[in-house]
Amino acid sequence: MQIGAYTIDTPIALAPMAGITDKPFRRLCRAFGAGWAVGEMLHSDPAFRNTAKTLRRSDFGGEEGVAAVQIAGSDPRQMAEAAVYNVALGAQLIDINMGCPAKKVNRKLAGSALLQFPDLVEKILKEVVNAVDVPVTLKIRTGWDKANRNCVQIGKIAEQSGIQALTIHGRTKECLFEGEAEYDNIRAVKQSISIPVIANGDIDSASKAKKVLEYTGADAIMIGRAALGNPWLFQAVEALVEHDSIIQTPSLREKCGHILRHIQELHQFYGEQKGYRIARKHVAWYLQGIQPDSVFRQTFNAINEPKEQLIVLEDFLNSILDKEKC
């Protein structure tokens, strides 16, 4: 798949998720087969540019692949300036967020709230595209609510405005993450425009990924929530979609090794004061797929020192491995 000057060899992406798709997690998912990974959403308001959170989210140093930065906002000029600013920092691709359904984002007329105003959507897209020399992509939902599904209209506006690829989460803003993804609407958009279309929503297995690609005709898929605690999902999807083969997931011992390394990287990336807090949610997600344990989770969440976290986690994972031997 071609996005501007960039050739994406593997049509499987990690979705941008605020507070989750930081550098350590992006690197891990890429290692398991994600073709590209979009960074966490950045606010276009310049007042947020020099905060510790924004600087971490803007850090793509040492990563392989295209450095894709996602920006959000509703002021066309401010969005264009944010794009220019991030390209100057090293962004190789700008993704515009018009898909986030969160209330705190929508209250500022950003994210999926913009789908109510196609004229404003067009102004934002044209301003950003004309401001930078890197490819600009767009992520949307199927519409504002079930009575106002306008993804085909927005898709055409995007193509005419110079957008290089369009990702569609198959739900409306009103649906949040409830109900089933609307693959019919993704298919309708794909049939209406010629730029690459990336299907997103409810893709939680290799077989589902293949079915979605075949049904929608999309050029690629994007995986979000299903990757939490399950980054090896990309490996299975890549094998089936690209090579029509089914592979075994990593062994329990291999998974435990990856988990420990990921937690170590989180500690290093965020520092002692924050790393242990970020690690808690990732460990909870990992254990859901390995061995849920509410008692251990309580114990782990009470620890506020990175080294102790690692010791306790390693001991717990070793106990699981010992049981597997029996």
The verdict on 168 and 290 lying in the same domain is no
The verdict on 180 and 260 lying in the same domain is no
Q: In the predicted model, is pLDDT for residue 326 greater than 70?
A: no
Q: In the predicted model, is pLDDT for residue 101 greater than 90?
A: no
The verdict on 212 and 291 lying in the same domain is no
How high is the pLDDT of residue 73?
Answer: 95
Domain boundary among 243, 276, 302: 243
Q: What is the domain range of residue 148?
A: 2-243
The verdict on 321 and 198 lying in the same domain is no
What's the rounded mean pLDDT across residues 274-284?
Answer: 96
Q: In the predicted model, is pLDDT for residue 137 greater than 60?
A: yes
Residue 292: pLDDT band (50, 70, 90) is confident
The verdict on 121 and 146 lying in the same domain is yes
The verdict on 187 and 148 lying in the same domain is yes
How high is the pLDDT of residue 63?
Answer: 86
Question: Alpha-carbon distance 303 to 61, whole Å?
Answer: 30
Q: What is the pLDDT of residues 90-100, one digit of tens each?
A: 999 999 999 98
pTM over 0.85, yes/no = yes
Number of domains in the chain: 2
How high is the pLDDT of residue 314?
Answer: 97
The verdict on 278 and 237 lying in the same domain is no
The verdict on 237 and 256 lying in the same domain is no
Q: Which of the pair, 47 or 14, is modelled with greater confidence?
A: 14
Neighbouring C-alpha atoms within 13 Å toward the C-beta of 198: 30
Averaged pLDDT score across all residues of the chain: 94
Residue 287: pLDDT band (50, 70, 90) is very high
What's the rounded mean pLDDT across residues 173-178?
Answer: 89
Q: What percent of the chain has pLDDT over 70?
A: 100
Residue 106: pLDDT band (50, 70, 90) is confident
How high is the pLDDT of residue 235?
Answer: 97
CATH of the domain at 148: 3.20.20.70
The verdict on 271 and 173 lying in the same domain is no
Residues annotated catalytic, as ranges? 100
SS (H, E, C) the chain: CEECCEECCCCEEECCCCCCCCHHHHHHHHHCCCCEEECCCEECCHHHCCCHHHHHHCCCCCCCCCCEEEEECCCHHHHHHHHHHHHHCCCCEEEEEECCCCHHHHCCCCHHHHHHCHHHHHHHHHHHHHHCCCCEEEEEEEECCCCCCCHHHHHHHHHHHCCCEEEEEEEECCCCCCCCCCHHHHHHHHHHCCCCEEEECCCCCHHHHHHHHHHHCCCEEEECHHHCCCCCHHHHHHHHHHHCCCCCCCCHHHHHHHHHHHHHHHHHHHCCCCHHHHHHHHHHHHHHHHCCCHHHHHHHHCCCCHHHHHHHHHHHHHHHHHHHHC
Q: What percent of the chain has pLDDT over 90?
A: 83
Q: What is the pLDDT of residues 39-56, one digit of tens each?
A: 999 999 998 888 888 989
Residue 49's φ and ψ, nearest 5 degrees, are: -65, -40
